[in-house]
Each structure stands twice: as structure tokens, then as C-alpha cells.
Amino acid sequence: MAVFHITDFGAVGDGAADNTHAIASAIEACEQAGGGTVYVPAGNYITGPIVLKSRMTLYVEAGATLRFHTRFDGYPAVPTRWSGYECYGYSPLIYGKDIQKVAIKGEGIIEGQGEAWWEAYREIRRGGSAPESSVRHELMVLNQALAESVKSNIVEWDSQFLRPPLLQLIGCEQVVLEGVTLQNSPFWNTHLVYCDHVNVRGVTFKNPSTTPNGDGFDVDSCSNVRISDCHFDVGDDCLCLKAGIDEDGRRVGRPTENVAVTNCTMLHGHGGVVMGSETSGGIRRVVISNCIFIGTDRGIRVKTNRQRGGGVEDIRINNIFMQDVLCPLAINGFYKHGVDESNPMMTTSEAVPVWEGTPVIKNIYISDILAKNCLASAGFIYGLPEAPIENVVLRHMTLETTLDPEEKGGEPDMVREERVMAGEGMLCKHVKGLELHQVTIETRQGPALLLENVSDADVDGLRMRTRHPATPVIRVKETQRLRLPVNGESAEAGYAVYV
């Protein structure tokens, strides 16, 4: 295939010249030739938005930086999916829609210069004015009907300052991302929507810990996705699987499915591998293996709520090391962020009627996990009273909480009850079908395992090496059909404590 050097089209890598037109010209020539490689040699290239085309590879050489300018009006309104809603938004810095056989490769850097976007957003949050922008005014017209109905991210929807991702591909097939570093995104770093057959290898996703909504990689209603040998160091979720939000997500009805994640490292942020909270189209058939999470607040995280619908099912996770996380495993059907506070159904902890917004979480299999110095709890599995989490199997796990007496811990996950824990065990509430086999849980305080409103639980080989005075290993409340290896007998509990 032909190679199109952007310098042959007038690009200058001096860190000052605007190369938007030169890069667009190279891409146009590549498209007219039937495809090829648009080559970015070593240098510092300032540019505006880049629109990718079919049968094209954007190759960023080692020593090359694509640095996007911060003139907000330089990013025109385009169709997007923003935080789960189909709408219009500022153009992503790199954008592709309905294209095939597209790749971004190399060992160079793609720099979003997100600080200007972050500071504008923070000013709006402080009660200041949104930046003057003709694009923003256009978005207020294009998104008017939707903005009036949205109940979450109100600051963004009211202002229509919908910060763009660094890279977004929508409706694309045969996508390859390989080798590059993507950093300092205005919003989410990399966002793939409605894509099929995606292969991501050896990519680095970086955002500062202070980045608002600084997710690393969001896979949104995509199928057949392979992610391997990547490194994440971000300010929000490292890798997040999504499938649209609430009524709009259910209308689209497109799941994220057939996803394999392996050999990745995750640092900082709010979660290592996260599913949700946008679960409305469904997330299913996901395998996660051979990963390391350090300081990621939560390790494996599933989050959804009564507005979302859809759900998460058929998940397999194995061979994960974690350290300095708040909670290594959080599965939460009662996620509180972004709910309509005026809707009693969304705020009550009592059972409500099942409807299309009721999410289903089931068939979660997790094995061979070592988590050290967990600051809040050893695990948190929290369903809805009207829709318990179903069929969770935990095998060969060692979960060690902090021993630091000064550690204050925090919320193992965000639920309506705002539970704060510190160096405590695994809490399971509203669960139907729970198995623990050869699981070791060490706590600073309290029992290893707390079961509340759990039915059909098998606990075999639970170990707690360090016991606390007058404290049971397992505490049980309102739980039926709990089977323990005590003389081969089962134990029934309405309200009881087991030592």
C-alpha cells in the first residue's frame, strides 16, 4: 500500500505551525488512492481534528507527537454518543465514522492538551460561564430536546459544553490500535462505539489523576474486541465496557459482547476493569485474565442501577494481582451516581416493581486473585432486593485488607446507603446463588464474610488466619440455604451468626 508522508503535504513539526490542512490533504490523497498509510515522522505537529477514512493506517513514528490545538471552535459539531446518549458534540480530536479497515499504529504520542478543556469545565462547575463558542451554541439547538430530558451530568447538558474524547470511532469494522501513547484527553481518552472486530495491542492510555471524566479506554456497544499488552494510568476508569444509558440505550439495544482482555497493567483511577454503569444494551461474554491493578480504587467493578436496564452476564475473570485498591471486587446493582434524585424509586432501599429499567447481573466467575492491602473491604456484592445478583462463583482467592490502624478506608462502591468501610471483609447483599471455594480473607476488623439477604450460598474452604476477639468468621442476616462444610450438614439462617 502507498505511504503518504504528511511533510510532503506541507506539515511542519516545529511545534508552532498549524498542520490541520496538511494532514487532511494527506488523508484525502490516501483515500483517493484506495487506501494506504498516512505517515507522521519525528517532530512536534500542531493540528486540529483529524478525520480517518477506510483502508487507512495513521502511523505515528517514534519521536513524533500529534498535538491538538485548544481552540474549541475548531472542533465542529458531529454525531456522537456522549456519556451513553446519541447526540451531537464537539468533534473528537481523532474521529472516524462508518469506516472499515482502519488502524492507528506506531510508537509516537497523540497529545490531547486537555488542560484547557478541563479548566473550562471546572469553571462551569464553580458556577461560572461556559466558554463562548459558536459550536456550543449550535449544540444547544441540535440537542435541545434531549437535554431537556436528561437527568444526569446536568452541568454538561445545561451548558452543552460536551467535551470530546481524544479518539472516537463510531460504527467501524476491522479496527487496529497498536503501540501508540494517547494522553491528556479533554474527556474520555479513547471511545469506540458500535464497532466490530477490534484489536488493541501495546497501547498506553494516560491521563492525570485530576482529569475530570478521564477514562482510559471505553468500549461502548462493540463486538468481538481483543485488548492485550496495554498500560493504563488515568484519572477515572482504566478500561470500561459500556452499552448505552437508560431509555436511549434500550432504544438502540446494542450490547457489548465477546470481549477478551489480557496482559494489561492498570494504575490509579477509579477502577481497573469496569462494566457499566451504562448497561442498557447489555454487556456479556467477557473474559479478563493476567492483569495487574495498582491503586485503582476498585479492581474489578460492575455498576448499574434501576434506571439502566440491560445488565451484565457471563463474565470470567482469572489470574489478577491487585495492590492498594479500595475494594478488589465490587458488583453493584444500586449505583447511585447520576440518578434522578426526585424519583423515589431510584432512592429507596426497599424492593420496587421490576420494569424494563431493572438490570440483570448474573453468571460471574472469578478465580485465582491475589489482592493485598485493600483499604476499604475485601469485596462488595450488592444487588437490588427485587433483582438479586445471580450465580457468583469465587475460587482460589486471597484478599488481604489493610492493617494500618489509621486507614480511614472509604466506600467500597457507591450505593444509596453510602456504606463506608475500612479494612473489613466481603459484604454480599441481595444475592441469589453464591459460591466461595478456597477463599482466604484477612481483615483488620470484623468478619471475613458478611451475608445479608443471600440465598443458596455454598462456602467451602473459607479461611481467616487472624481471628478477632468476639468476632465471627461469617456473619449472616436474613439468609436462606447457606451450606457450610460443618459435619457435612447444611445451615439455614433467618438471622444468625456463625463462627
Residue among 157, 263, 184, 278 at smallest CA distance from 222 = 278
Q: How far apart are CA 390 and CA 235, in angstroms?
A: 31
CA-to-CA separations, 366 to 221, 236, 315, 329, in angstroms, rounded: 23, 23, 8, 10
Residue 430 annotated to the active site: no
Q: Distance between the two ends of the chain, CA-based, in angstroms?
A: 69
Grid coordinates representing 318 are 482469572
**Which residues lie below 8 Å from residue 279, measured CB to CB, with a gap of 6+?**
242, 243, 249, 304, 308, 309, 310, 311, 312, 359
**Of the listed 215, 236, 246, 297, which one is catalytic?**
236
Q: Can you say whether residue 244 is alpha, beta or left, with left for phi > 0 and alpha for psi between -120 and 50 degrees?
A: left
- Separation in Å, CA 344 to CA 33, 310, 347: 59, 21, 5
Strand-pair partners of 366: 317, 394
- Cα 270 to Cα 253: distance, rounded to the nearest angstrom: 27
How far apart are alpha carbons 183 and 164 in whole angstroms? Answer: 13
Catalytic residue among 270, 297, 413, 430: 270
337 is catalytic: no
CA distance 259 to 130: 38
Identity (one letter) of the amino acid at 23?
I
SS3 116: helix
Strands (E), 83-211: 85-90, 94-97, 100-106, 109-111, 167-170, 173-178, 181-183, 190-193, 196-201, 204-206
How many CB atoms are closer than 10 A to CB 145? 8
CA-nearest of 223, 179, 186 to 200 is 179
Distance of alpha carbon 152 from alpha carbon 255, whole angstroms: 21
The enclosing H or E element of 32 equals helix 20-32
Q: Where are the beta strands (DSSP E) in 295-376?
A: 298-303, 311-323, 327-332, 360-374
Torsion region of 439: left, alpha or beta (phi above 0 gives left; psi -120 to 50 gives alpha):
beta
CA angle 281, 283, 286 (to 5 degrees): 160
> Known catalytic residues?
236, 270
